[in-house]
Amino acid sequence: MSSMSGSATESSLLPPRKRRTLRWTVIVLVLVAAGWFVSQRGDDATQQNLPLIATVQIGNIENTISAAGSIKPSLYVDVGAQVSGQLQKLHVEVGDKVEADQLLAEIDARTQVSRVEASRSALEALEAQVDSRQASLDLARANAQRQERLMLANATSQQDYDTAMANLANAQASVSQLAKQIAQSRSSLASEETELEYTRIYAPIKGTVVSIEMNEGRTLNANQSAPTILRVADLSTMTVETQISEADIGNLEVGMDIYFTTLSGGSRRWFGQLRQILPTPVIENNVVLYTGLFDVDNSDGTLLPEMTAQVFFITASARDVLTVPVAALTYTDVPPMGPGGAGPGAGPGSGAPTLRPPVTADAAVRPDRSSPAQGFPGAGPVGAPFATVPSRRPAIVRVVADDGTQQEREIVVGVTSRVAAEVISGLQAGERVVAGIIQADADAGAAASGQGFGPPRFGGFR
């Protein structure tokens, strides 16, 4: 306090002119220091806003529509019981592989055996009457023939003749009735024998037992509906049921290439083609979803029923082509959105982009895409199908020379994904392009908060 008061006293003793000079000197020094600080901050900001350089390289591009799905057997049979009774024996377990007509289970057959024996005895009893009925028919036929001869000789009465004819007709009807009864008994016996066969349940197809619904000792009632005992499925070919949003349904068509991955399959891809889109939608939480079906070979048995599949519908793809990040492109065939503003794909400067003539089919030759992928992480087997949708758009990139200078160049772009685009013409492998601006101050803030370990963010051109 004493020193401060002393300094104030000394300054107050200065002449007014010197006090003004001292005040302006302090003000000038403060302004110079502030200017120097601002200039240093500007230099640091200029140094931090560096261009993000990307190298044009050969790679693979695919444009897909993703959806979730589940894996189900393409062919399965629910094996049930056609007769009532106690499930006496199961000859298989879940996971067993079975052949067609292999014995799977047995039902208590005592009731059916009794019915078969009763029907067989009734049939034998009827068959035993055949000789007696036939003998009666032969006797009636002989009496009728005798009465005919006597009637011709006027040696018998009309009543005796009529009685003989009636006995013959009755004997013939009795033999015919017995034949019908025998046929009916045989049909009943065949039905009872069939029911007896139903007590032994055989595999209808070759496949795998995927589930067992009934255990041994369970009483089955087949009077109203056939109870399901187990399910046999053919797992050599699986069907993927995927839920497709109504927003994506217009971009899909039957026969297009598809691949999917599973949670347990790692980077492996299974390929197929869209077989069918069911016309009846499924509405969940006011979201309309359509079911798409496609089949996939499962000869190695790695796919199991009810697995979750991440399905990708390939709308466009290219392999072993020149690629460049999408952030490096400025499309020139997109008109401005309105006065004083540029739409998507505007040029590097401000204002509307400069429109150029459309690219013709002879502008460049696209590389052959029929060859399989080589060294493509997660790629399927050699020769796996990939869709190809021709599309050509003009664009501008900023090419970085060896001396660090930048120059705009017109290129032709083909298949485009969310992160990369195919270069049809205008660039060569190894050239460098500007793919955005690295904002180091934002990255430093993210690093300070523990979130700076991700890939660099692509900024727009300024």
Sign, Cα dihedral of 302, 305, 306, 310: positive
Domain-embedded: residue 77: no
The two structure tokens encoding residue 55:
């190298």
Name, in order, each residue with C-beta under 8 angstroms of 75's C-beta and a sequence gap of 6 or more: 205, 207, 233, 234, 237
Q: State the total domains in the chain.
A: 1
pLDDT at 88: 92
φ/ψ (deg, to 5) at 425: -155, 155
The closest alpha carbon to 383, from 392, 391, 373, belongs to 373
Domain-embedded: residue 176: yes
What CA–CA distance (Å, rounded) separates 365 from 197?
70
The two structure tokens encoding residue 120:
């067989």
| Domain around 173 | 115-191
The CB density around residue 390, as the number of other CB atoms within 10 Å, is: 10
3-state SS, the chain, equals: CHHHHHHHHHHHHCCHHHHHHHHHHHHHHHHHHHHHHHHHHHHHHHHHEEEEEEECEEEEEEEEEEEEEEEEEEEEEEEECCCCEEEEEECCCCCCEECCCCEEEEECCHHHHHHHHHHHHHHHHHHHCHHHHHHHHHHHHHHHHHHHHHHHCCCCCHHHHHHHHHHHHHHHHHHHHHHHHHHHHHHHHHHHHHHHHHCEEECCCCEEEEEECCCCCCEECCCCCCCEEEEEEEEEEEEEEEEEECCCHHHCCCCCEEEEEECCCCCCCEEEECCEECCCCEEECCEEEEEEEEEEECCCCCCCCCCEEEEEEEEEEEEEEEEEEHHHCEECCCCCCECCECCCCCCCCCCCCCCCCCCCCCCCCCCCCCCCCCCCCCCCCCCCCCCCCCCCEEEEEEEECCCCCEEEEEEEEEEECCCEEEEEECCCCCCEEEEEEEEHHHHHHHHHCCCCCCCCCCCCCC
Contact, 315 vs 64, CB < 8 A?
yes
Residue 314 Cα distances to 61, 246, 258, 273, 298, angstroms? 10, 17, 6, 10, 21
Residue 39 Cα distances to 32, 43, 46, 48, 49, angstroms? 11, 6, 10, 14, 15
The closest alpha carbon to 202, from 88, 89, 99, 94, belongs to 99
Domain-embedded: residue 152: yes
pLDDT at 155: 87
Residue reference for tokens 């009872």: 192
Residue 98 Cα distances to 131, 143, 147, 200, 205, angstroms? 50, 67, 72, 15, 8
Residue 169 Cα distances to 81, 131, 141, 182, 331, angstroms? 49, 17, 9, 20, 104
pLDDT at 174: 92
Domain-embedded: residue 415: no
The two structure tokens encoding residue 203:
């595999």
pLDDT at 170: 94
The CB density around residue 4, as the number of other CB atoms within 10 Å, is: 8
Domain-embedded: residue 166: yes
pLDDT at 459: 39
Domain-embedded: residue 388: no
Domain-embedded: residue 123: yes
Contact, 247 vs 66, CB < 8 A?
no
pLDDT at 48: 59
- Can you give the pLDDT of all 462 residues of the chain as single tens digits? 444 444 444 455 556 667 777 777 777 777 777 777 766 665 554 455 688 889 999 998 888 899 999 999 999 999 999 899 999 999 999 999 999 999 999 999 999 999 999 999 999 999 999 999 999 999 999 999 999 999 888 888 899 999 999 999 999 999 999 999 999 999 999 999 999 999 999 999 999 999 999 989 888 888 877 889 999 999 999 999 999 999 999 889 999 999 999 998 888 999 999 999 999 999 988 889 999 999 999 999 899 999 999 999 988 888 889 999 989 999 887 654 444 444 444 333 333 333 333 333 333 333 333 333 333 333 344 334 444 444 688 999 999 998 888 899 999 998 888 889 999 999 989 999 998 887 655 444 444 333 333 344 433 333
Domain-embedded: residue 455: no
